[in-house]
Amino acid sequence: MTATAPPDYLDPQTLMSISSLDLRAQMIAEGLMTGMHRSPYQGVSVEFAQHRQYAPGDDTRFLDWKVFGKTDKLYLKQYQKETNLEMLVMVDISGSMSFCGGTAWRKYDHAASLAAAMTHLALRQQDRVALSLFDDQPRRATRMSNRQGHWRSIVEALSSVQIHPMQQEGPNSDLAGHTHLAQVFDRAVVKLARRSLVVLISDLFDDPDTIDRGLAQFYHHRHDVIVMQVLDPMELGFPFRHPSEFVGLEADGQLRLDPLALRQGYLHAFEAHRRRIEQACRKFMFDYLILDTSRSLAPPLSSFLARRAARVVRK
Amino acid sequence: MFLIAQISASFVAPTLAAVGMTAMSIPLLIHLLSRLRRQRQPWAAMQFLYEAFRRHKRRLRFEQWLLLLVRCLLLLALSLALAGPLLTGCAARVASGFSAGGRAIHLVLDDSLSTRVLVTAQKTRFDRLRDTALLIAETAEPNDTVTLWNSARPLLGPVEPVVAARHFLEKATPRYSDSCLVNALMSIRERLDGRPTVVVLLSDFSRSVSELDRPLPQELEGLGKRVSVLVSRPAPSASNVQISALSAQRRRLFGRFGGGLNVPIQLWLRRFDNASGEAHATVDVMLTEPDGDVLVSTTRRARWAPGQITCGLNLDIPVESSLRSETIPITLTMGTGQPLVLRARLNPQSMSDALKDDNRRTFVLELQHQMRVGLIDELPPSVDMSAPSPAQWLAMALVPLSETDQHPLALEHLLVADVHNDTLGRLDAVMVLRPDLLTDSVWQRLREFAVVGGLVWIFVPPDGNTTLWPQSMVQAFDLRWEIELDPTFSGPDAWELNGAASVPSPLGVLSADWEALLRPIRVYQRLAVSTAHTQRWVGLANGGGSDSILAVERVGDGVVLMLSAALDQQWTNLPTKPLFVPLIHEALHGLLGDPGVTESRFVAGRRLVLGRNWMGAVRLDPIDNSGPSIALGVLAQAIEGVEPAQTPGLYQAAEGARRVLAVNVPADAGDCRAVGEKKLAQWLDGLGNWSFMDPHNPGSSLVRQAETTNIGWGLLWIALSLLLLEMVLARVMSHAVDGARRSWTDRWVQSFSRIGLARKRRLSGPSSMKEAA
């Protein structure tokens, strides 16, 4: 088998045409698996747990030839050791995640698709998965589970989120919908009883020091974290030309200005913030990824899978 | 209303100023509109915007206000520059940088003949112009310099300072010459210095100013941009009638009083009016002595048909003797005779005549007792009449034997050896029958004789010695003829003379019978003489196209003739034919009495260029003491007046030859009709900027010129600087990033480029559209 290029349906433009989140996530997961020579969901154990239907890319060494002889169907034997990973996916649903720069593809859409796909992949490997949706505090969460039907509840939770941008209040408003990661991290740490893989999907528009402190808590509790910062290309490049009135999505006021005059200053501040987060992640040896909503989802997923495999090996 | 009028007076184009004030609000409006039309942009990353905004707020506001201010000022300066603001008072002086130096005011006063026209019962055009000049001189400020120029010929040079100019103006009178504004302007141009200069042209701008029909010289183009030019308005038209020319057919007459001598006179009258109707006038014509005593007088009536402008009169005045004239001793001094004066005086009668000074005209004649002709031959004339020699043919033709004493022509036979300057000095004409015997020195003496007004007539010797005399002759007189050295024979058919050609003017008396007189003439031999058409008096009918039988060329004040056939039966039958005698006589009288063009040049305002026969004269004195004397000098081998004649009248040489000349007014200077303001404006436009003076208050124009300064050019430079500043600021400021420069200039250029590109695509068709897409 030869490695193939990432399929087109990992691209946001393609995914945007699919309204159903679960279908979208399955497509992402299947597409990712098809492009891999060898399944990363392998494990070595002596205690048999269950059978799983063969998927292209799976290691044929674990095929159960007896079942094949009886039923003419390919099944893999899975062992208990492979299923001991716990993963918490934290998705930001604050007002800033509703931003979409010129297209209908919001940052939240990107984040939700990614979360659904990752949980789908994890559940297929019998990993225990939990979802947490937060803005200034955890708003909704699922329990940690790997039972069948759990993924459906995750997808429903992701689909049912209604983000209401708040544009009337000033920049210091403390109403719900505003990103407040410190409180969210505190509660997540409390909830996680075992060492877990925490996937944080957010635009991280918060104080870098707060983020730093939150990541430190995860680190001290020996959790592994993948930080995925979801950003719109317009936020990355600030390509505005004409004088405009910028209205905050998290009740942080409005500002009339000439964007060309302020572009350098904005980019400078943005880059400083990003570097602070990157430094924090590097300090705790966490993965840090910037997800451009106009780009394909393959790189973050690959990163996640590699991280997961590494974690399995470590264990 | 008063305020509006005052503001309007502060600009050359007040409307543009108003537009400029309005234009200044354009950037403000754009700014306000852009605030209203700002689109709402939902934005997530507000924290970074706030941070950047807090950090750069002050600088951004400063830059925006600065750019807005520059753009407003740019439009204001540009529109005000086009409006031409006029600063007044001290501000104007500071702006123009002459707070201490004052101005140079040049007054050009037209004092030509046409300004003698009476405007009212008491005042002439000149009086009004002079009053205006005095008023302007009074208006000048203490630190101004006033220089007065006159425009009538000749220019008298600048009169300054202002006190002298005022004094001069109070005593000035108009002159008799024509106007030459261009010369005055050229002189002013040479005197321009760094000071602000005002040139005031005070003229009636009548049609007599001939320069108005021609474009300005190149040197004067744009003068109005360097100086302020103020111009008086043209004077209203005035009708005038004048004697434009008076001349006698022959200036020198040979004969005696009462000898049946007549003076053919030609008189030209001209009227300057609309010439729509019939008109009549009478002219008194008199033959007088120089001191004014009338010898003969006659009156003629002139009539103009409708539409006719010029009227010509031809009449003969008999040279009758008066009691006193009989007693006048005639002093003959080398080619001079008794001066007589023809005077013509116009009586306009019912015709409107604005100018009286051009109703008189004079012409000077010379009456000489006898014409003296010398015959230069090899031998004294023989008495053998069976085969007359050329000298005998000429003697018979010139002086009949029976009338030698009283005949107006005296003949003197000379041998070649007798030709000296003294001998030639007492002769009027010389006929050379043996040019082949003349030495170079004799040829040179003959040339000198011709140069001072003598007539030299060369005949081909009949024996036809082939020597180089034609070359010596051509060389001595510097002739433009080509002469063959050997005779040319006609063959069996003799050559005939061309009677179809026009008759030379000195032979005008023969014009009625010219063809009949030429017809019997036959030429059997000749020296082929090739001349120009104007030098050919008689040519061949069946010979060469440029060959002359009788050729003429002027040498100095005299003339050289050559008959290319010998007076011999072997060469031509001319001596035996009726033409021979009148040809000889009329050629002598016509050439020696030719008035030429000299007389017409003696007009007021022009330098007098006299002939070489005026040698010895050092000064011309007016006979009636009407004007100043004119000093004479030798310039380029001719006698010229050191100063031009300013007053018309009769002038007499103070020393040397007893000669008289008449100076008249220039006829064209009497055209008093008005030049249209449109035509004048076209002419003045060549100067650049100029303006008419207020005819009711001419001093106010100068006051305004004094106190106001147009700072339009300065503002234009400021506008240009602001434009550059705007471009620089737009590139340097915060909102100028690569690929998104915000200068107005850049936007305009980009807009034009886009329009051009779109047009190009439309023209190049759908394939290019596709490529562009």
Q: What is the pLDDT of residue B284?
A: 92
For A42-68, what is the mean pLDDT?
Answer: 73
B366 pLDDT above the threshold of 90 = no
Q: What's the pLDDT score for residue B336?
A: 57
Cβ atoms of B558 and B449 closer than 8 Å? yes
> H or E element: which one contains A192?
none
pLDDT of residue A127: 81
- End-to-end, the C-alpha distance of chain B in Å comes to 61
The answer to whether A6 and A298 are in contact (CB under 8 A) is yes
Helix axes A208-220, A259-283, angle to 10 degrees: 20
CA nearest neighbour of B117 among B351, B356, B349, B346: B356
Q: Which of B432, B460, B481 is nearest to B524 (CA)?
A: B460
How does residue A232 score in pLDDT terms, banded at 50, 70 and 90?
A: very high
Looking at residue B432, its pLDDT comes to: 93
Interface test with B, best of A94, A206, A235, A246 (most B CBs within 10 A): A246
Tokens of B109: 């006063």
pLDDT(B469) > 70: yes
Distance CA B475, CA B241 (A): 50
Rounded to an integer, what distance in angstroms lies between the CA atom of residue B408 and that of residue B372?
Answer: 9
Return the minimum-mean-pLDDT range out of B94-98, B547-551, B752-756.
Answer: B94-98
Cβ contact B46–A244 (<8 Å): no
Greatest mean pLDDT among A262-266, B274-278, B749-753: A262-266
Task: Compare B6 and B439 and report the one with higher pLDDT.
Answer: B439
Q: Which pLDDT score, from 0 to 100, does residue B258 have? A: 64
Query: What is the pLDDT at residue A172?
Result: 41
Instruction: Say how many C-beta atoms besides its own lie within 10 A of residue B68's C-beta.
Output: 14
Does residue B325 carry a pLDDT above 60?
no
Q: Is the pLDDT score of A42 beyond 60?
A: no
Q: Residues of chain A with pLDDT > 90: what percent?
A: 17
Question: What was the pLDDT predicted at A278?
Answer: 93
CA distances from A304 to A78, A89, B462 (A): 21, 11, 139
User: What is the C-alpha to C-alpha distance for residues B654 and B472, in angstroms, rounded to an integer?
Assistant: 39
Cis peptide before B161 (omega within 30 of 0): yes
Whether pLDDT at B209 is above 90: no
Residue bearing the bigger pLDDT, B2 or B514: B514
Q: What confidence score (pLDDT) does residue B552 get?
A: 92
Q: Above 90 in pLDDT, residue B228?
A: no
B309 touches chain A (CB under 8 A): no
Look at the alpha carbons of B27, B28, B29, B32 in this order and tell me if their dihedral is positive or negative.
positive
CB B146 within 8 Å of CB B202:
no
Neighboring chain A residues of B734 at a CB cutoff of 8 Å: 260-262, 264
Q: Quote the DSSP letter at residue B579.
A: T
Residue type, A104: A
Residue B769, pLDDT > 60, answer no
Mean pLDDT across B9-32: 76
- By mean pLDDT, which of A40-44, A45-49, B121-125, B426-430 is the weakest? A40-44
Q: Cβ B44–A242 below 8 Å, yes or no? A: no
- Chain A CB contacts of B40 under 8 Å are 244-245, 247, 254
Quick check: A276 and A212 in contact, CB under 8 A? yes
- Select from B43, B731, B741 the residue whose CB has the most chain A CBs within 10 Å, as the one to mutate to test that interface: B43
The answer to whether ipTM exceeds 0.85 is no
B730 or B583, which is more confident = B583
Confidence class for position B169, pLDDT limits 50, 70, 90 = confident
* The pLDDT value given to residue B374: 92
Identify which has the larger pLDDT, B396 or B624: B396
> What confidence score (pLDDT) does residue A133 get?
93
Looking at per-residue confidence, does B740 or A89 come out higher? Answer: A89
pLDDT digits (tens, 9 = 90+) for B474-497: 999 999 898 888 888 888 788 888
* Nearest Cα to Cα of residue A92 among A138, A129, A128: A138
Task: Return the closest-CA partner of residue B64 out of B765, B729, B739, B770.
Answer: B729
Q: What letter represents residue B543's amino acid?
A: G
Provide the pLDDT confidence category of residue A91 given band limits of 50, 70 and 90: very high
Query: What's the average model confidence in pLDDT over B766-771?
Result: 40
Residue B737 has pLDDT above 80, yes or no: no
Angle of CA points B733, B735, B738, to nearest 5°: 95
pLDDT band, residue B563 (cuts 50/70/90): very high
- Count of alpha carbons within 13 angstroms of residue A200, beta-carbon side: 29
pLDDT level of residue A44 (50, 70, 90 thresholds): very low
The span from the CA of A275 to the CA of A267, in Å, is 12
B63 touches chain A (CB under 8 A): yes
Assess whether pLDDT exceeds 50 at residue B772. Answer: no
Residue B257 pLDDT greater than 50, yes or no: yes
Q: What is the DSSP string of B540-578?
A: BSSS-TTBEEEEEEEETTEEEEEESS-SSTTTBSGGGST
Q: Which residues pair with B200 in a beta bridge?
A: B107, B230
Q: Is B19 on the interface with A (CB under 8 A)?
A: no
Q: Which of B48, B733, B735 sits opposite A266 (nearest CB)?
A: B48
Which H helix or E strand runs over B680?
helix B677-685
Please check whether residue B235 is in contact with residue B333, taking contact to mean a CB–CB distance below 8 angstroms.
no
**pLDDT in the model for residue B713:** 78
Who among A98, A262, A273 is closest to B49 (CB)? A262
Report angle CA A290, A295, A300 to the nearest 5 degrees. Answer: 50
Say how far apart CA A189 and CA A216 lie, in whole Å. 11
Are residues B52 and A266, on separate chains, in Cβ contact within 8 Å? yes
Written as one letter, the residue type at B529 is V
Q: Name every chain B residue with its beta carbon within 8 A of the beta carbon of A240.
A: 41
- As a whole number of angstroms, the distance between CA B503 and CA B686 comes to 47
Q: What would the DSSP string read from start to end of B65-98?
A: HHHHHHHHHHHHHHHHHHH-BEEEHHHHHHHHT-
Question: Lowest-confidence range among B437-446, B598-607, B674-683, B737-746?
Answer: B737-746
- Among B42, B48, B740, the residue with its CB nearest the CB of A273 is B48
- pLDDT tens track for B285-305: 998 888 888 888 889 898 888
Could you read off the pLDDT of B589-621 as tens digits, one per residue? 888 887 655 566 788 888 887 876 777 788 888
Question: pTM higher than 0.80 for the full model?
Answer: no
Q: What is the DSSP letter of A11?
A: S
Compare CB distances from A246 to B41, B55, B60 and report the shortest one's residue.
B41
Beta carbon pairs, A and B, within 8 Å: 115
Do A252 and B46 count as a contact with CB atoms less than 8 A apart?
yes
Biggest CA-to-CA distance, chain A = 73
Number of H helices, E strands in chain B: 22, 35
Cβ burial of A264 (10 Å; 0-12, 13-18, 19+) is middle
Task: Among B35, B36, B37, B47, pick the best mutation site for testing chain A contact (most A Cβ within 10 A).
Answer: B47
Mean pLDDT of A75-96: 78
Tokens of A11: 């691209």
Name the minimum distance, in Å, from the CA of B758 to any CA of chain A. 23
Query: Where does residue B222 fall: left (phi above 0), alpha (psi -120 to 50 degrees), or beta otherwise?
Result: left
Q: With an 8 Å Cβ cutoff, are B733 and A261 in contact? A: yes
**pLDDT mean over B14-41:** 77
Asked if pLDDT for residue B265 goes beyond 60, the answer is yes
Adjacent-strand bridge partners of B526: B488
Suggest the residue from B46, B51, B54 to mutate for an interface test with chain A (most A CBs closer than 10 A).
Answer: B46
Mutate to test the interface with B, among A169, A204, A241, A252 (most CBs of B within 10 A): A252
Q: Does A253 sit within 8 Å of B64, measured CB to CB?
A: no
- Between residues B326 and B546, which one has the greater pLDDT? B546
Q: Which residue has the higher pLDDT, B143 or B600?
A: B143
> Which of A277-281, B259-263, B532-536, B688-692 holds the top average pLDDT?
A277-281
pLDDT in tens, B662-707: 889 888 888 888 888 888 888 888 888 888 888 777 777 666 555 5
Interchain CB distance below 8 Å, B44 and A244: no
Q: What angle do CA B566, B570, B576 make, to 5 degrees?
A: 75
Which carries the bigger pLDDT value, residue B571 or residue A304? B571
Share the mean pLDDT of chain B.
80
Question: If 0-12 CB within 10 Å is exposed, 13-18 middle and 19+ buried, where does residue B660 land?
Answer: buried
Residue labelled with tokens 């003296």: B372
- Cα distance between residue A84 and residue A196, in whole Å: 10
Taking an 8 Å cut-off on Cβ atoms, the answer to whether A257 and B40 are in contact is no
Query: Chain B residues with CB inside 8 Å of A269's CB?
Result: 47-48, 51-52, 55
Average pLDDT, chain A: 78
Q: How far is CA B681 from CA B216, B220, B460, B699, in A?
A: 12, 15, 64, 21
* Residue (of B445, B444, B399) closest to B425 by Cα position: B445
Q: Is the pLDDT of residue B573 over 80?
A: yes
Those residues whose C-beta lies under 8 Å from the C-beta of residue B494, and which sit 6 or more positions away, are B522, B523, B524
- Look at residue B484 in the predicted model and tell me its pLDDT: 86
Give me the residue label for tokens 């006659």: B298
Edge-to-edge, what's the strand order for the sheet holding B371-377? B409-415, B371-377, B429-432, B455-459, B558-563, B548-555, B536-539
What are the beta bridge partners of residue A229? A202, A290
Contact B312, B283 (CB under 8 A): no
Rounded Cα–Cα distance for residues B533 and A102 (Å): 97
Residues 6+ apart with CB under 8 A from B371: B254, B408, B409, B410, B428, B429, B588, B589, B592
* Structure confidence at residue A270 as a pLDDT band (50, 70, 90): very high
pLDDT digits (tens, 9 = 90+) for A9-34: 456 666 665 556 666 666 666 655 54
Which range (A263-272, B256-265, B308-317, B438-447) has the least confidence?
B256-265
Instruction: Please say whether the dihedral angle defined by the alpha carbons of residues B151, B152, B153 and B158, taken in this order, is positive or negative.
Output: negative
CB contact at 8 A, B398 and B586: no
Do B668 and B208 form a contact (C-beta atoms < 8 A)? yes
Band of pLDDT at residue A310, cut at 50, 70 and 90:
low
pLDDT score of B595: 61
CA atoms of A33 and A52, how far apart (whole Å): 15
Residue A89 pLDDT > 90: yes
- Decide if B346 contacts B359 (C-beta within 8 A): yes
Confidence of residue B767 (pLDDT cuts 50, 70, 90): very low
Question: What tokens were used for A53?
Answer: 């239907």
Euclidean distance between CA atoms B132 and B247, whole angstroms: 40
Nearest to B735 among A165, A245, A258 (CB): A258
CB A11 within 8 A of CB A103: no
Closest CA to B156 of B171, B175, B141, B142: B175
The residues pairing with B206 across neighbouring beta strands, listed in sequence order, are B674
Q: Give me the pLDDT at residue B369, please.
A: 79
